[in-house]
Structure 1
C-alpha cells in the first residue's frame, strides 16, 4: 500500500485558512521578521538567538501515531510508538486550522532525502518566522523550477506552539503533542516550540517509508566522505559525537544526523545540521563553531553579562543548547549530499560504566548484536527530565524514532553487510574511562578523533588485536597518537577487581536487554553476546 492523503493543504487553500501567509521566504528575511517581532536577538556573530520556552527538548511521551487500517498492521506499537485514534487527530486538525484564522503564518516547500529516487516533498506551516527558518536550514531547499512544479501529494507539518490541547476533551496526555498520521501524510505539533519535534517527525516518517516500501535502510547516523570517495557512517544518540566527529576538515560532510542506505548510495535526509553547542569552542570543534554566523539559529543559549557574546558553557536554560544551520555553512560539505557504499561504520556509545574500550573492531555478528542493543547513556538535555547520564539501550541507536520493529532495520543492516563484506565496523566509546561516571573521566575528544582517523586511514589494518575479556570485541594494541594504556579500559582502572565487577554488571544488562530479540536472532548473533567472568 502506498501511503496517501486527501485534501492536502496547498498554496491556494492555505490563504483561505490563515489571515496572512508568507511563502518560501529566504533566510535573511526570516531573521529580519523575527527581530521585527521581538522574538529573537542577534549575537556578535550575527546568528539569531531565540528561546523555545517551556520545552527545550523532545517530549517522547507526547508523541503519537494515528492507529488506522494502514498503520495498525505495520507499526511496532508500545511505549515508543503510542497509538492515538483517527478521531483525536481529526478533532485537533480542525481546531488547529480554525486557530489559524486570525494568525499570520510562515509556510515553505522543502524536501527530505537527497537521493531524488527516495525523497519526499514536505510543506511546513509555522506561526513564527524563526521556526520556519529552522525548516529552511534543516530540510532540503528546492530550486526555482522545483518550486514551480512542487508536488501536491507530499507530507504536511503544522506546528503551532501557541495552540494548547485540552487533554480532557482532545484525548492527549497533556497540553503539548506531536502526532504522525501516515494515511493523511500529516504531522500535527502543538504546545511546544522545540524545533526538533519537526525534524524528528519527518525522520520517523522516513524510518517507516524507506524500509517498508523501498527496502532501504534508514539510519540515525552522520556521514562523511574522504578524498578517495570512501564513505564513513557514525551511529549514535544525541550527545555521543555524531555531529562532532563527522565535521572533519579533511573529509567532505554528507550529513550530520539522518541517512538512508539504498542499493548504490548513502544519502542525507536533510539540508542542514542541528548541532549541540553546550561547551562549544573554536579549539574543540572548529567547523561547528565557524558555522555559527549570519542566519544560523541558536536555541536557548545565554550571553555573557552586558554583552551579546554567547556563553556556550552556560546551561542555565538547558544542557540541550542547539545551533541550526544550512549544511553549506560547513565549507567542506558535499554539494549533493549523496555518497558511495560505506567503507567504515562507527557505532558511538557513551559508556557511563567506564567498561567498553575507546575503540574496538566488531565481527559481523558483533555488529548485528551491538546494532540491536544500541547501548549508550542519554546525556543531559536531550530529553525532558534528563539531567545526568542515564544508561539506556536504544535499538539501532535510535529506537525512539523507529516506527517499525527494530529487527526490520537489523535485518536490513545484516543484508548490507552480507552484500559488502569489506565494510569495517567499529565500536567507539566516547564516555568514561578509569572508572564509572562520577569517578572516572570522560575520554578526551582529541584521542577519540585520533582513533577514528587511524581507522579511516587504514592505520589499524595491520596492528595486533586482543579480545575484550567480557564482550569479545577486538581491541587494537596500538593506535597512532593515542597512549597504549588508554586502549584497554581495564588498564585505566586502579582497582582491577572493581573493573571486573563493573564489566560483569554491564554484561548482565546487555544480556537482559537482548532477551527481547533472542527469538529473532540466529546462533551466530547469539554467540556474540558478552560473557561473565
Structure 2
C-alpha cells in the first residue's frame, strides 16, 4: 500500500481504526463488497442505493461566513451563510465520530490544466465513495504523490448525521464549505453528486479571482480541432449531446476557460441514466461496466440486469465512470478556445424554437437566465411543468455574483469570436402532456449544423416574442419544427403561452439589468 507524503494528522485524521490510502479499483471493489455497501450488476458495474438522498440537497449546503467570504459571496437563498462557531462544533463532532473507523484516503487533482488545478485530499467513510473519487477526479502520478500537499480537504461521512436542533443546521444532511480553513465536510448523505458539486463550487469561487471562467458545461472537439461547449441544466441533454461518436469528448460537465483555452475539471463522467438506451446513447451504455458506480438503478433480482426505465428509487438515476471509458475521449482534456457555444434548454411549454442563433448580448442574457423546465413527478409537490431559472446554468454552484461570470463569458465570446446558439431539447406542438418531446435525432442534426457552420447558409428570421434568430431552413429538418407556433393547433394559444413565458423572463432579469 502507498504511504501518504502529507501526514494524515495534518488532514485531521486522528486515531482511525485503519487508513486505506490510494487503494486500487479492484481492492476498493473487494472492500465495498465485503462491507455490503452494494452489489455487482450484470454489467460488472458496482450498484449502490443511496437511501433517502437520491440527489443533491441544496437547502443543506452552507458557506462559513468569515473575512475570506463575507464580501465576495452572493449571499441569499442559494448561497447560505453559517457561522464559524457552528462549523467548528460540527467539525469536532465529525472528527470524534471518525475515530476508530476505517477511512479511505485519495489524493487527486481537480483540473487538467497544471496552472489552474486544485490539489484535493478526499477522506471517505465508504469504499465505493473512494471509487467515485477515483472515477471523477484526476490521479497524480507517483512523483506527484510523493510531494502532494492538498489545497483543500473533503471529509465525506454519510453515517454521521447532524441533529438539527443541536447542531445549527437544517436537517441530518449537510455540506459545509470553509474557504478559510480549506475544508469541506459532508454528512448524512451518500449521494456522490454532493462530493462532485462541492468541489466544483470551490473552483467556481477561486478561479474567477485568477481570471479563469468556470463553466457548468460539457465539451467536445472535432477532427479539425474545432471545439464546442454545451451549457445546460440536468435533463437538457448536456451529457448525451456531447458524447458524439464523430467527435472526441473533452468532458461532460465542468470546465474552465483560461487565456490559453478550455480545460476539463474532471477525469470522469456522471451520467443520468433514466430511460437510457443503447440505440440513442451507445457510448454511455457501453461505459457502464466494471469500474463504474451505478446509483439508485433498479436491478432484476435474479439476473441483476439494470432496468433503466424503472424509476422506483428516483428519476435521478446515475452512473459514474472514468472518461477513458468513452472511446476516443481527449485525454488530458485540454483544448483551444471554443468556436461554438450551445445553450441547452428543455422547454416544457412548447414555445421556444428548437434552435436559434444568439447575438453576444442575447447570449449574456440567456446565460444569466439559465432557463429550463421542471416536469411533473420529478420532485415532490410538482404536478405540472414549472419554469426554472438557474443563473449561469448552475446557480447552486456559483458562489459569486452572476454578473461576474456573465461578464467574463461575454468578454471571451467577443475576444475569440465564438458563435452562440440556443437549442431547445424540450417539447414541440404544445406543452408537456399535449405536444411531444423533440426527437433527439433532430436535435443532433441541429447541433451538427451549428458546429460546422452550415446552419448559416439559408439565413435567419427573428422570432417576434423572444427576439431570437431562427434559421429559415435546415437540411433534414421539417420547416414546421423550426417555427414552434406552426405545430400548435391554435396559434393564439401558442402566442399567449409564449408571451407568458417571455414575461417570466423579463421579471427574472430585472434584478440583473443593466448587464
Shorter-chain TM band: over 0.9
- CA separation of 1:387/1:68 partners in 2, compared to 1, >3 Å: closer, same or farther? farther
For 2:413 and 2:348, locate their aligned partners in 1 and report how far apart those are by CA, in whole Å.
29
Confirm or deny: 8 A CA contact 2:109 2:139 kept in the other structure. Answer: yes
Q: Any unmatched runs of 5+ in structure 1?
A: 1-7, 522-533
* Map of 2:311 onto structure 1: 315
3-state SS, counterpart of residue 47 of structure 2: strand
Question: SS of 2:51's equivalent?
Answer: coil
1:408 and 2:404 are equivalent in the alignment:
yes
Match of 2:373 among 369, 372, 377: 377
Alpha-carbon distance, 1:461 to partner: 2.4
The SS at the match of 1:54 is coil
Indicate the residue corresponding to 1:45 in structure 2. 43
For residue 526 of structure 1, what is the aligned residue in structure 2? Answer: none
- Which deviates the most, 201-210 or 456-465? 456-465
Q: Does 1:483 align with 2:478?
A: yes
Structure 2 counterpart of 1:467, from 462, 475, 478: 462
Tell me which of 393, 397, 403 is aligned to 1:397. Answer: 393
| Equivalent residue, structure 2, for 1:450 | 445
Change (3 A) 1:9 1:441: farther
Aligned pair partner of 1:327 in 314, 320, 323: 323
SS, match of residue 28 in structure 2: helix
SS in 2 for 1:282: coil
Residue 181 (str. 1) matches residue 178 (str. 2): yes
Partners of 1:393 and 1:90 lie apart in 2 by: 34
Q: Following the alignment from structure 1 to structure 2, what is the Cα–Cα distance between the partners of residues 217 and 409?
A: 7
| Conserved? CA contact 2:8–2:14, under 8 Å | no
Deviation at residue 388 of structure 1 after TM alignment:
6.5
Q: Does 1:163 align with 2:163?
A: no
Q: What is the TM-score of this pair, normalised by structure 1?
A: 0.93
| Secondary structure, aligned partner of 2:422 | strand
How many residue pairs align between the two structures?
Answer: 510
1:276 aligned residue: 272
**1:250-302 Cα deviation digits (max 9, x unpaired):** 11111000001101110001110000000011001001001111111000001
Q: Once the 2 structures are TM-superposed, how far is the Cα of residue 346 of structure 1 from its aligned partner?
A: 0.2
Q: Which runs of 5+ in 2 are unaligned?
A: none
User: How big is the shift at 1:54?
Assistant: 0.8
Query: Could you tell me whether the CA contact under 8 Å between 2:6 and 2:149 is conserved in 1?
Result: no
Q: Could you say which residue in structure 2 is the equivalent of 1:250? A: 246
Q: Paired residue for 1:505, among 500, 511, 515?
A: 500
Deviations 1:51-105, CA, capped at 9 Å, x for gaps:
1111000111100000001100100000000000001111111111110112101
Match of 1:85 in 2: 83
Structure 2 CA distance, aligned partners of 1:323 and 1:138?
Answer: 11
Matched position secondary structure for 1:71: coil
The equivalent of 1:347 in structure 2 is 343
Counterpart Cα distance in 2 of 1:159 and 1:269: 20
Match of 2:283 in 1: 287
Aligned partner of 1:4 in structure 2 is: none
* 507 and 15 in structure 1: CA distance in 2 versus 1, 3 angstrom threshold: closer
- Match of residue 208 from structure 2: 211
**1:431 aligned to which of 426, 433, 442:** 426
Instruction: For 2:122 and 2:156, locate their aligned partners in 1 and report how far apart those are by CA, in whole Å.
Output: 8
| Structure 1 residues 389 and 115, CA gap change in structure 2 (3 angstroms) | farther
Q: CA deviation at 1:364?
A: 0.9
Contact 2:13/2:95 (<8 A) preserved: no
Q: Take 2:130 and 2:490, find their aligned partners in 1: how far apart are those partners?
A: 53
Deviates more, 1:16-25 or 1:56-65: 16-25
1:223-262 matches, cutoff 5 A: 223-262=219-258
